[in-house]
Chains A and B, each alone.
Chain A
Amino acid sequence: MGDESVLQGFLKVTRRKPALTGLVVVLLVFAILYAWDARQLAPMFSNVGTGALMAAIALGVVLTYRGSGVVNFANGVVTIFVAYWYYGLRMEGKFYVPPLPNPLVLIEIPVNWFRDDGNKLDLINWPTVIDLPGDRLTTASALIVSLLLAVLLGLALHFLIFRPLRNAPVLAKVVTSVGLFVVLQEFLRLRFGELARTGVQFPLPKGKVSLPGELGAIPNNQLFLVAVVVAIAIALWALFRFTRFGLATRAAAENEKGAMLLGFSPDFLAGANWVLSTVIAGLVGILASPITNLDTITLPLLIVPALGAALLASFSSFGVTVAAGIGIAMLQGWVQYQGAQTWFPRGVLPTAGLTQALPFFVIVIAMFARGKALPVRGAVSSGKLPSATAPKHVWPLTSLAIVGTLVMLFGFSYDWRQSTINTLVGVVVALSLVVLTGFVGQISLAQMALAGTAGFFMSKYFADLPFPLAPLIGSVVAALFGAAISIPALRLRGVNLAVITLAAAVAIEQLVFKNKTFAGELGALRVDPPMIGGKDFGPNNTALRVLGLKGRDDVPPNVWFGVICLIFVVVLCLMVVNVRRSATGRQFLAVRSNERAAAASGIDVARTKILAFGLAAFIAGMGGALSGYRFGSVTPAYFGAFASLTFLAFAYLGGIASVSGAVLAGIVVPNGLNFNFLENILHIDQGYATLIGGIGLIITAVRNPEGLAGAPRLLAEQRALRRARKAALSKEKQDEEARTMGVGQ
């Protein structure tokens, strides 16, 4: 009895003061570890510099969320971009021009169309680099110029992308911000290459501070960085607490209409917060670059732990954000140290992977401990969700798609055959997002990871099973993983779910796919071709050989493999069509539009979500299995977190809420039909293809939230609206005339 009341009292305190409780728990654990063996804690303090950078990125994320309701997945890339600008100005005396669209491309492409290889027309491009007159800039001027560029970048992001989206639903904002991440990441890669930049100069304090006991020391430059980030957090806290600007931002975040009626421009507030966020991220990026060095691959991914920190702070508290950011980094340092010890089961848990996967576990534990709903923004209009209309003309469309695919497979050269097969695989993964995100409104950034789960499990454990059984069972495993991921989804929605699924994608990639014990020393697992009736139906066989014939020009990929993929696609598409039409489909849509209303009308929301996650993961798993057959192997890179992000972008581009949208998404995915068209017909470099997809996505999200599949419907609606408006106006004119004539008489 007495114990129970103590426990209840404790729980009450944890619910009321989650941040304080978290701090106490962390300090307690720290004290226990210190008493156990102080030396093991030393590595924690050598990693605080990275933590400060993570915290600054997270601060930017929180700031833009509070100012405009957008969770900026690209904030990590923005940070690194500004730091690269500084590097160019300070170390090389060069200004790296931001990538601009070149209108001359419109001339180049059609001309190259008629030219053979080797002699392409190449007109003037924008300069990529401008050599500055004189020598390298001084630290101060390089810093000022880079920060001015950060201001411009913030303004551009606000005015070109997120301002038009201010009334869009969460999904459109998340997808656009993912698209922005993809685009800026490609820009970064194309501009600065994959070579790391070291030796960035910035006058940071030297030396180190020794810590008491055996805790080691903190380098002064890292300590300085931490101090800067903490100072920024305090300044932001004061800004939001005490100034009218901050108060108005908080107010507009909650009720834009109310803020407008009091004379505040939500637009101005959002823009100002965007600029503030890019400048803070850029500044700390520059200060951190001498410590962390610059590269275009690992640093932008700091966004994952940064998002974790922002999520722990409910996207609102600056203090918790910084504490969580630095805390996660310290924990990573500690895990790294433990991973190097002899007792650590390195075989089962790869150390590097564990540190990367850490944010996921931290978020999950914190979410369960807190168990409270997160705040959701309320705006003037919550925006229209992409319409998930019941499929019409199913049989004609299906027959058309089948005939079209067969023509592509049998009638065209090998490169078209190849890209058709890639498209078919893409359709399957996009279909899984249609079920989960389109129908149920759950944003998942882990679908490729789930696809990979099926592929890896199939290859590892079910390779001996006969053909259709192996991918099926692999997909069932993926469905189980999907259902497991859905458990946090029962407590999280919208953008918070997107963050945790991204962290989950990273965790699966790092702990499963890159696990040498599981996936072998080579980092890839072999997938044997599907055998039917003792014949090799894999892509590397050829069409005639399967039939036991011989002939010239008989080259891989195997047409019959394409046919197998087509059968999978048709069956899965029809399955999703039927789900949409069934009672389950209606339950999915009900949960998407309003969970409370759905629950009130007797729908088990939890069950519906788990079902949707499981079903979507099963479909994604099929895609993973097919791509495994397609490449003859499964690799971590193909199923990595970045791939999941890209895939959501392309699925949205195609149309997230309909089966036809999934088919269109398959056509535009990397290496699909559209890519083959761009590369071999329009002669556009493959490297730019992802970029084009990302830009297409941003334009689609801003202009047309329904995606490509919704374009005809949207146009029809707009026509109808214009007609109605015209009719109303002309009727008024007639009335007017009638009135004046009446007066005249």
Chain B
Amino acid sequence: MNALLEIENLNTGYNGVSVVRGLNLSVNPGEVVALLGPNGAGKTTTLLTASGLVPIISGDVKVFGKSVQGRRPHMIAREGLAHVPEGRALFYQLTVAENLRLGAAKGASDVKKALGYFPALEPIMDRRAGLLSGGEQQMLAMARALTVSPKLLMVDEMSLGLAPIIVERLLPILRQIADETGAGVLLVEQHVHMALQVADRAYVLSHGELAMQGDAATLRSDRSLIEASYLGK
């Protein structure tokens, strides 16, 4: 099977200082992969590197089989990589409808498909994104990512600033997207327990290095393993 995302022995970081070291990771079609780890572990940096927003120091990242090195972020996005970044990167001055229209290359049908997953957005299509609640903004960010019909969807800290009850409602939708569209999903999450419930596999990063990886089911059954890796053994 061809992996959608292949990270090989990646060193990446800022100003020549590695934040992530020697990471190997892959995401296959139809698979939900969770990337876990404490604050400062390098999860967000890994996603930004995959999108081409942070340059690679050494190693390689392949998206859809091609290295991201030397490619501009918008070119990678056009090939079907959707990234919901930390902070959501919504356009607050635009309405919900306009935000969605920006991603939708094919027009109304894409928007309709995305709204199918987030029907709560339909009554507020004419509202400006800046006026939405935190949960609505997160839904909009994910819906907008879906309008590009992504082959690979990366979601960074969806739960940031949201009530756990809303996270519980949003996470299963990622599972549904992976199952129905065959897209791969890479998800960065602080709510370890909830993430493992929807994920197939998980990687745990600690201080920029891979602390452990495995089936979500295994990790779910033995929480002491994860706790140990969070605390740095």
Chain A residues with CB under 8 Å of chain B are 244, 247-248, 250-251, 254-255, 257-266, 375, 721-722, 724-726, 728-729, 732
The answer to whether the Cβ of B58 comes within 8 Å of any Cβ in the partner chain is yes
Query: Quick one: given A244-B101, A251-B102, A728-B16, are A263 and B89 in contact (CB under 8 Å)?
Result: no
Query: How many angstroms between the C-alpha atoms of A465 and B102 in the bound complex?
Result: 68
Which B52-79 residues sit within 8 Å CB-CB of chain A?
53, 57-58, 72-75, 77-78
Alpha-carbon gap, A11 to B7, bound state (A): 58
B93 surroundings in chain A (CB, below 8 A):
250, 254, 375
Chain B residues proximal to chain A, CB less than 8 Å: 11, 15-18, 21, 51, 53, 57-58, 72-75, 77-78, 82-83, 85, 89-94, 98-99, 101-103, 144, 148
Q: How far is the CA of A375 from the CA of B98 in the complex (A)?
A: 19
A286, B61: Cα distance in complex, Å: 52
Residues of B within 8 A of A728 (CB): 16-18, 57
**Which chain A residues border B16 with CB–CB below 8 Å?**
721-722, 724-726, 728-729
- Cα-based distance from A265 to B89 in the complex (angstroms): 15
Name the residue of chain B whose CB is nearest to the CB of A731.
Answer: B18
Contacts of B11 in A (CB 8 A): 732
Determine the chain B residues whose CB is within 8 A of the CB of A729 once the complex forms.
16, 57-58
Q: Is the CB of A258 within 8 A of B91?
A: yes
Given A724-B16, A725-B15, answer yes or no on A260-B91 (Cβ-Cβ < 8 Å): no
Q: How far is the CA of A207 from the CA of B194 in the complex (A)?
A: 77
Find chain A residues with CB under 8 A from B72 CB.
265
Contact B91 A251 (CB under 8 A): yes
Contact B58 A732 (CB under 8 A): yes
Query: A265–B91 contact, CB under 8 A?
Result: no
Name the B residues within 8 Å of A251 (CB-CB). Answer: 91, 94, 99, 102
Residues from chain A with a CB closer than 8 A to the CB of B99 are 251
The answer to whether A261 and B58 touch across the interface, beta carbons within 8 angstroms, is no
Known contacts A259-B91, A732-B18, then 16 further A-B pairs from the complex at CB < 8 Å, ordered by chain A residue: A244-B102, A248-B102, A251-B94, A251-B99, A254-B91, A254-B92, A255-B90, A258-B85, A260-B73, A261-B74, A261-B89, A264-B74, A724-B16, A725-B16, A725-B17, A729-B57
Tell me the interface secondary structure of chain B in the complex: mixed
The chain B residue with its CB closest to the CB of A380 is B53
10 pairs from A and B in contact (CB 8 Å cutoff): A244-B101, A247-B101, A247-B102, A254-B92, A255-B91, A259-B102, A260-B73, A262-B77, A265-B72, A732-B11
* Distance A260 CA – B73 CA, assembled complex (angstroms): 6
The smallest beta-carbon distance between A258 and chain B, in angstroms, is 3
For residue B89, which residue of chain A has the nearest CB?
A258
A262-B144, A265-B74, A724-B16 given; A247·B98 CB < 8 A: yes
Closest Cβ of chain B to A590, distance in Å, is: 25
Q: Kindly report which residue of chain B lies nearest to residue A256, judged by CB atoms.
A: B89
Report the Cα distance A722→B15, complex, angstroms: 9
Which of A261, A722, A732 is the most central at the interface, judged by chain B CB atoms within 10 Å of its CB?
A261
The answer to whether B77 touches A261, judged by C-beta atoms less than 8 angstroms apart, is yes
Contact of A250 among B83, B94, B103, B148 (CB under 8 A): B94
Residues of B within 8 A of A721 (CB): 15-16
Distance A729 CA – B17 CA, assembled complex (angstroms): 9
B73: which A residues are within 8 A, CB to CB? Answer: 260-261
Instruction: Give, as a whole number of angstroms, the nearest-CB distance from A203 to chain B.
Output: 42
Chain B residues closer than 8 Å to A375, beta-carbon distance: 93
For A733, give the chain B residue with the smallest CB separation.
Answer: B58
CA distance A176 to B107 in the complex (A): 40
A726 to B58, CA, bound (A): 12
Q: Are B85 and A257 in contact (CB under 8 A)?
A: yes
| B94 x A247 contact (CB < 8 A) | yes
Residues of A within 8 A of B18 (CB): 728, 732
Report the minimal beta-carbon distance from B149 to chain A, rounded to whole angstroms.
Answer: 12
By Cβ-Cβ distance, the 10 closest A-B pairs, closest first, are A725-B16, A258-B89, A263-B77, A263-B78, A251-B91, A260-B73, A265-B74, A261-B83, A260-B74, A254-B91
Chain B min CB distance to A264 (Å): 6
List the A residue with the shortest CB-CB distance to B130: A254
The interface residues of chain B lying within 8 Å CB-to-CB of A248 are: 102
| A262-B103 contact in complex given A721-B15, A721-B16, C-beta closer than 8 Å | yes
Closest chain B CB from A736 CB (angstroms): 9
Chain A residue at smallest Cβ distance from B9: A736
Q: Bound state CA distance, A265 and B75, in angstroms?
A: 8
Smallest CB separation, B211 vs chain A (Å): 17
Residues of A within 8 A of B103 (CB): 262-263
Q: Chain B contacts of A265 at CB under 8 A?
A: 72, 74
Q: Which chain B positions have C-beta within 8 A of A725?
A: 15-17
Which of B77, B85, B89 is most buried by chain A, counting CB atoms within 10 A of its CB? B89
In the bound complex, do residue B17 and residue A724 qualify as a contact, i.e. CB atoms below 8 Å apart? yes
Inter-chain contacts of B77 with A (CB < 8 A): 260-263
B24 to chain A, nearest CB (A): 13
- Chain A's closest residue to B99 (CB) is A251
**Chain B contacts of A254 at CB under 8 A?**
91-94
- Are the CB atoms of B83 and A724 closer together than 8 Å? no
The docked-state distance in angstroms from the alpha carbon of A732 to that of B9 is 11
A540 to B180 CA separation, bound complex (whole angstroms): 89
- B202–chain A nearest beta-carbon distance, Å: 24
**B17 partner residues in chain A, CB cutoff 8 A:** 724-725, 728
**Chain A positions within 8 Å of B53 at CB level:** 257, 260
CA distance A266 to B94 in the complex (A): 17
How close is A237's CB to chain B, nearest CB, in angstroms?
15
Cα A262 to Cα B88 in complex, Å, equals 12
Complex Cα–Cα for A375 and B77 (A)? 28
Which residue, of A250, A262, A266, has the highest number of chain B Cβ atoms within 10 A? A262
With both chains docked as a complex, state the minimum distance between the C-beta of A269 and any C-beta of chain B, in angstroms: 10
B98 contacts which chain A residues (CB < 8 A)? 247
* A724-B15 contact given A250-B93, A260-B53, CB 8 Å threshold: yes
CB-CB under 8 A from A257, the residues of chain B are 53, 85, 89
